[in-house]
Structure 1
Amino acid sequence: MTSIFKIAPIFAVFIAAPALSCPQGATPLVSCSLKSGSAYLETCLLGNFATYAYGKTGQRPDLALARPVQEVEMTPWPGVGRSIWEDFQFRNGDVSYRVFYSIDRFSEGEPALTAGVMVEKGEETLAELDCDPGTIDAGYPLPLWDAQELAAQARN
């Protein structure tokens, strides 16, 4: 279990950050506007921590989570198929927030990029929100996988 004293400074910086702006020194994972610009989703990598924020545009997040990278479940792209995709999941009690993105490799012109978040409680989907087109900041490969690998090596 991670000490709250290790997470608190990261969480404090994250809460104070303006909407759609990862904390200073952080790397964006998947971020976008939702609901025709009235809400935002922001996930970032800050050292050995991944952060998640959701809220109304221009306001502090309604929900902000900071988790050690080892506690964030990730499904990396398996290397096959029409789309390049990855997803990762933050848990908050018995509710999970699965953030995803997908790049259609065979679309005409620019590759089609989609993303969003699924909120789940057990097997029940509580909400599924798709990012507004043209607002998505994401791309393959997400640095979360490498951060998880480094954290695992550091523990050995």
Structure 2
Amino acid sequence: MRLFCISALIACTASGALACPNGATQLVSCTFNDGSRYLETCLLGSYATYAFGHTDKRADLRLARPVTEVEMTPWPGVSRYIWEDMTFVNGAVRYKVYANVDRLEQGGELMLLGGVVVSQNDRTLATLECDVGSVETQDWLQPLFTAKEGSGQYYSQEERVWK
């Protein structure tokens, strides 16, 4: 039964459109390379999803992980930058998705930035920065934080780890 549920969840995120499946909450989504590629992360129940691919095509990579298996670093509440990140693990490869904003930026509207860092065995394979102005998020990663707490985990601010 669990395999069916995960397969259905991945299928829901397989379209090229930047929209989370019905009932899901967007975490961080954006485009790359002048809109030709996209990244979308969503929360659906106790699962977080990651999709990356060419715009208007089926995703090249789709992952669905229980929230307990998605690493997340919440903003510690200090510094000029508000930032959060989450990491999806796929075998030895890690996909670290981040969003940030410089809250002391002068001269206008705050610009939300983001991207993904792909690594394997502590070696960076790729660093992709989202197209400027394309980053979308609903309440940063707060929904993931809440889902992790709902699953019985808690974040130790002193140790900076989930337990």
Secondary structure of the equivalent of 2:58? coil
1:70 — aligned with what? 68
- d(CA) in 1 for partners of 2:8 and 2:138? 28
Which secondary structure state, in structure 2, belongs to the residue aligned with residue 79 of structure 1? coil
Equivalence for 1:29: 27
Q: CA deviation at 1:139?
A: 5.5
Give the residue type in structure 1 aligned to 2:3.
Answer: I
Matched with 1:151 is: 151
1:76-115 equivalences under 5 Å are 76-108=74-106, 109-115=108-114
Q: What's the TM-score, normalizing by structure 2?
A: 0.87
Contact 2:28 2:140 in 1 (8 A): no
Shift of 1:6: 3.2
Letter in 2 for 1:14: T
Q: Which residue type is aligned with residue 30 of structure 1?
A: V
Write the letter of the residue equivalent to 1:147. Answer: A
Q: Where does structure 1 lack aligned partners over 5 or more consecutive residues?
A: none
RMSD: 1.5
| Length-normalised TM-score, structure 1 | 0.91
Q: Which amino acid aligns with 2:123?
A: E
Q: What letter corresponds to residue 130 of structure 2 in structure 1?
A: C
Residue 161 of structure 2 corresponds to none
Specify every segment of 5 or more residues in structure 2 that has no aligned partner in the other structure, as ranges: 154-163
How many residues in Structure 1 have an aligned counterpart in Structure 2? 151
- Match of 1:152, SS state, is coil
